[in-house]
Chains A and B, each alone.
Chain A
Amino acid sequence: MTDEIDFEVDAEDLDQVATQKEVGEPSLVVDDLSVTYRIVGGGHAPTETAGSLLRRVVGRGRRHVGAVHEVKAIRNVSFVARQGEAIGILGINGSGKSTLLRAIAGLVPSSGGSVYSVGAPSLLGVNAVLMSQLSGERNIMVGGLAMGLSPKEVNARFDDIVEFSGIGDSVYLPMRTYSSGMAARLRFAISAAATPDILMIDEALATGDADFRQRSKERMDAIRDHASTVFLVSHSIATVASMCTRAMWLDHGRLVMDGPVGDVTAAYAEFIRAKHRERDAARGEQASGH
C-alpha cells in the first residue's frame, strides 16, 4: 500500500458526519505505553564496518546468523479515552497505528507502560486471518467462538452475518476460493457480530463498495450504542473525519496530536500535502538531473 491512499478524499464519505454522543466516564487509560518488536532473522541495514578483515567477516556474518533486530513501534504514548467517544487514529504507514490498537487490546505485549480498560477490548480487523481451507460457514463458528460468543449465539446470528457480508451461498465454499473483497467483508461481518465494551477497527471500512461502506457505518453506529468506545484506524482522512469525534496523530510511534477530529485532521492534511509537495519536488529534481 502506498502513501497516496492516505489523502484520497472519497466524495461519498463527505456528507456523513459522526453522530455526537455524550462523553462519559473513562473507559481506557493508556499510560506511557511502549512497544518494541523483536524481529528474528531481520537483517540490519548493511553497514560499512571499518577495521580488520576479521571484524568485517564477523560483522557480515551477524546478518545471517543470530540476527535480531528491534523496532520501536510505539514510544511513550499516554491518553485517556472516555465512553461514547469514537477515536480515529491517523498517521502514515509504519507510524504504529495498528500496533497501538493491538497493544491496547492486549494482543501485542508492551515493552513499557501499561493499559487499563473496562471489560475486554476487542479488535475488529480485516487482517484477522481465518482458516482459508475451511468454508465460510465453519469460519463464522471459529471466529464467533474466538470472540467469546457461545455456539448458540453464533448459530442465532449466523443468518445475520451472512446477510451482512453479502456473500450469499458462497459461505459454504472454502474461504480460499473467495475474492479478497468477499473475505474481508466476511471478516468484518463476523467481527461486528459481537458487541464488545471497547471496539477497535483496523482499516475495515476501506473494503467493499459504497453500499457495503454505508451498511458498515450503520453497523458501527449501532455497535457504538452498546460499546462504550470505538477506535478506528484508517488510511482515509475523510473516513476518520466522518466517523469519529476525536482524533489522534501518530508519528514514528509517538503521539503528536490528540484532540477534536476537525483540528487534528486539518493539521494532518496539511502535513500530508507538504509531504506530497516534497515528493513531487524530489521527482522533479530527479527528472531535471537527466
Chain B
Amino acid sequence: MTVPPSGSTRSDAGPTSAALVPPPLENRLADAPRYAALHGLAPVGTRPPLRTYVRDLWGKRAFIRVLATSKAYAENQTTYLGQLWTILNPLLNAIVYIAIFGFLMGARAGTENVIAFIVVGTFIFRFFDASVSAGSRSITGNASLVRSLRFPRAVLPVAGVLAQLATLLPALVVMCVVVLVSQLVPGMGAVPLGWRWLLLAPAVGLLWVFSTGCAFIAGRLVAVAPDVANVIPFVMRFVMYGSGVIFSIDSYVSSESSPALYAILTYQPVAVYLDLARSAILNEPSITTDPVTWIVGAGWALVALVGGFTYFWRGEERYGRD
C-alpha cells in the first residue's frame, strides 16, 4: 500500500463514501391504510382487543406450561444437589426465622406451636415473594425472547408465577411433614391431622391467582421504569413483617386500641391467605377463619387478577422497546 502524503489524502480516491449514499427515498403511499385494507392486510404491532388477547393467551397454554416447568427446572440445574434445592431453600429459610424469632427472641406470643406457625408462614409467603419478583423480571429478564418472537406478553408473568407454583408444590409436602414432626418437640402444641388439611389446596389456589395478578402489575411497572425492581424487595420486606409471617401480629396490635389498623392488618390480602393456610393445617386458637375470610380471599384474588391483567394488557404494544 502506498502512503499518500498528508494533506492530499482524498485527491486520488474518487468520490467520498458519503457522496455515494443516495438521498432518502420519497416513496410513501398516498393512502397506505386504504391500500392495505384493499389487499386484506392487517396492522402489525398494535394492541389486540382484550377479548382477542385473552383468547390468544389461552391458545398459548401449552407454551406457558412448558416455559414454566422449564424455568422451574432450570433454576437449580447448575448445583450438585440439583432439584433438592427446591425444598432445601425454603426449609433453610424457615430454620433461620425459627431460630431467631421463635427461640432467640422468643416471639411466641399468640402461638401454640411456633415452629409450625413460622414454617407455614415462611413457605407460603416465600411463594408470594418469589412470584412477584418473577413477575417483575418477566419482561426485562426475557428481553431477547420478547424481541425475537411474537406472542401475547402476558405469557411471561403467568409462566413466571406458574414456575414458582411448580417449585412450591414439593415444598408444601415438606412443609406438612415438618408441621407434623414439630409437635414432637417439647413445648410445641399438637397439630392433629384431619380433613380440614385439604383446605390448604384452595388457600394456595387463591394465593396463586392473587400472585399472578400482582406479577402482572410488577411486570409492567418494571418494564416501564426498571428502577421499580430495586424497590420491590423493600415493599416485600414490609409486607412480610406486616403480615405476621413469622410472629402473630394479633399480639402486637389489638382490635380495641386501634380498630382501623387492626382491620387493615387482618383483611389485607397476604394476611388473609396466611390465615387461610394456617387455619387449614395448624391448631392455633388465635387464628379464626370463617366463610367471610374465604370470601375476602376470593375477592382479593379476583380483583388482583382482573385489575393486574387489564393493566398489563394496556401496555402490550410497548414491551420490548428498551
Residues of A bordering B, CB below 8 Å: 25-29, 31-32, 37-40, 75-76, 78-80, 102-110, 114-118, 120-123, 125, 127-129, 131, 133-134, 138, 141-143, 145-148, 150-151, 174, 249, 251, 254-258, 267, 270-272, 274-275, 277-278, 280-282, 284-285, 287-289
Contact = CB atoms under 8 A, between A and B. Distances in A.
B150 A106 contact: yes
Given A115-B45, A174-B77, A258-B25, A284 B321 contact: no
Given A31-B29, A40-B226, A109-B318, A285 B16 contact: no
Contact of A108 (B23, B40, B226, B321): B321
Contacts of B104: none
B45 A284 contact: no
B23 A117 contact: no
Contacts of A122: 150
Interface in B41-88: 41-45, 60, 62-63, 66-67, 70-71, 73-74, 77-78
Nearest to B32: A31
A288 B45 contact: no
A256 B317 contact: no
Nearest to B150: A106
29 contacts: A29-B36, A29-B39, A31-B29, A37-B321, A38-B322, A78-B29, A105-B150, A107-B146, A107-B320, A108-B320, A109-B45, A125-B148, A128-B145, A131-B71, A133-B77, A133-B78, A138-B66, A146-B63, A146-B145, A174-B77, A254-B24, A257-B22, A257-B25, A270-B20, A271-B17, A271-B21, A274-B14, A281-B13, A285-B9
Interface of B: 1, 3-6, 9-10, 13-17, 19-25, 27-29, 32-33, 35-36, 39-45, 60, 62-63, 66-67, 70-71, 73-74, 77-78, 144-151, 226, 317-322
Contact of B10 (A79, A267, A281): A281
Nearest to A26: B39
Contacts of A80: 29, 35
Contacts of B320: 107-109
Contacts of B22: 249, 256-257, 267
The SS class assigned to the B binding surface is loop
A256 B23 contact: yes
Contact of B39 (A25, A150, A151): A25
Nearest to A148: B151
B20 A271 contact: yes
Nearest to A120: B150
Nearest to A254: B24
A145 B25 contact: no
A146 B148 CA distance: 10
Contact of B3 (A129, A255, A287): A287
Contacts, number: 193
Nearest to B3: A284
Given A120-B150, A267-B22, A131 B70 contact: yes
Nearest to A102: B147
B316 to A, nearest CB: 9
Contacts of A251: 21
A145 B155 CA distance: 12
A116 B36 contact: yes
Contacts of B150: 105-107, 120-123
A288 B3 contact: yes
Given A29-B41, A278-B10, A284-B4, A147 B318 contact: no
B44 A117 contact: yes
Given A108-B147, A257-B22, A282 B66 contact: no
A57 to B, nearest CB: 22
Contacts of B23: 256
B318 A104 contact: no
Question: Quick one: which of B67, B70, B78 has the most chain A CB within 10 A?
Answer: B70
A116 B21 contact: no
B62 A150 contact: yes
A59 to B, nearest CB: 22
Nearest to B1: A280
A281 B25 CA distance: 31
Given A134-B73, A274-B15, A27 B67 contact: no
B25 A255 contact: yes
B144 to A, nearest CB: 4
Contact of A285 (B6, B20, B147, B318): B6
Nearest to B26: A78
B301 to A, nearest CB: 27
Given A108-B321, A114-B32, A287-B3, 13 more contacts: A40-B226, A78-B25, A78-B27, A80-B35, A109-B318, A109-B321, A120-B150, A131-B71, A141-B70, A145-B62, A150-B62, A256-B25, A274-B13
A31 B3 CA distance: 47
A82 to B, nearest CB: 10
